[in-house]
Amino acid sequence: MHIEIYSDLVCPWCYVGRQRLHAALAQRPDLPVDVRWLPFELNPGIGPQGMDRTEYLTGKFGDAAQLAAMQRHIGEVGSEFGIDFHFERIRKTPNTRAAHSLMAVAAAAGKQNEVVGAVFAAYFEQGRDLGDLDVLAEIGAAHGLARDATLAALADRRHHAQIVAHERQAAQWGISGVPTFIFDRRYAVSGAQEPAVFLKVFDSLRAAA
């Protein structure tokens, strides 16, 4: 089964969606899957130096009480699936183009899924800057990617055209939010659904096959 996931690496629900998908896959250990993470930049207009996190959130949500309640809720949901959200550690909302480039490097090396998880954890649990190429190269190196080669690939922007092409494809398919999970190009599931939803899709596709 091929699973394509449109996401952004600064989307907390994408992190939750990843963990919920993994929980569902753990209940179908005999199901062969090929998972591919695809780019969907939520904030492409942010400059390469990123944006102050408080300023960004104030502009997007305005109401501090509403934001705090939302973050508490996400934290509670995430804790059920092994995520230790620490929103207070995040100082900057980055431009994620370089982080998506790292995903392309990791995909070519067959390590994308684990690197995606590490990038989500670095941002949401440790508050690391995903716009910093050294940070990204370090995360990749921790999962077997050659640091210098990764850094060079990020610096010369060689994957940017591919990222733009994927995002155009998402627009053509009518995808307007993340996470969006596409199963064998037959079913699409929007949002960080509960594992039971994914299990239903798995079983429907298996029955059809």
Residue at token pair 């670095």? 122
How is the chain split into domains, by residue range?
2-208
Q: Output the furthest CA–CA distance in the chain (Å, rounded).
A: 50
State yes or no: pLDDT of 46 exceeds 90. yes
Nearest Cα to 209, choosing from 188, 189, 186, 192? 186
Q: pLDDT tens across 103-115, in order? A: 999 999 999 999 9
CB 19 within 8 A of CB 194: no
* Averaged pLDDT of the chain: 96
Alpha helices (H) along 109-194: 112-124, 133-141, 147-155, 160-172
Question: How many residues would you count in the chain?
Answer: 209
- pLDDT class for 209, splitting at 50, 70, 90? confident
Give me the amino acid identity at 103.
Answer: M
Is the predicted pLDDT of residue 63 greater than 90, yes or no?
no
Work out the percent of the chain whose per-residue pLDDT is above 70.
100
* Three-class secondary structure assignment of 30-61: CCCCEEEEEECCCCCCCCCCCEEHHHHHHHHH
Read off the pLDDT of each residue in 147-166 and give the average, rounded to a whole number.
95
pLDDT at 62: 83
- Yes or no: say if 35 and 102 are a contact pair by the CB < 8 Å rule: no
Q: Which CATH class is domain 2-208?
A: alpha beta
pLDDT band, very low/low/confident/very high, at 60 (cuts 50, 70, 90) = confident
H and E: helices and strands count for the chain: 9, 6
pTM of the full structure? 0.96
pLDDT above 90 for 134:
yes
Select from 191, 99, 189 the least CA-distant residue to 150.
Answer: 99
Q: What's residue 14's pLDDT?
A: 98
What values do phi and psi take at 93, rounded to 5? -95, 115
pLDDT per residue as tens digits for the range 170-184: 999 999 999 999 999
pLDDT over threshold 90, residue 98? yes
3-state helix, strand, coil in the chain (%, to 5): 55, 10, 35
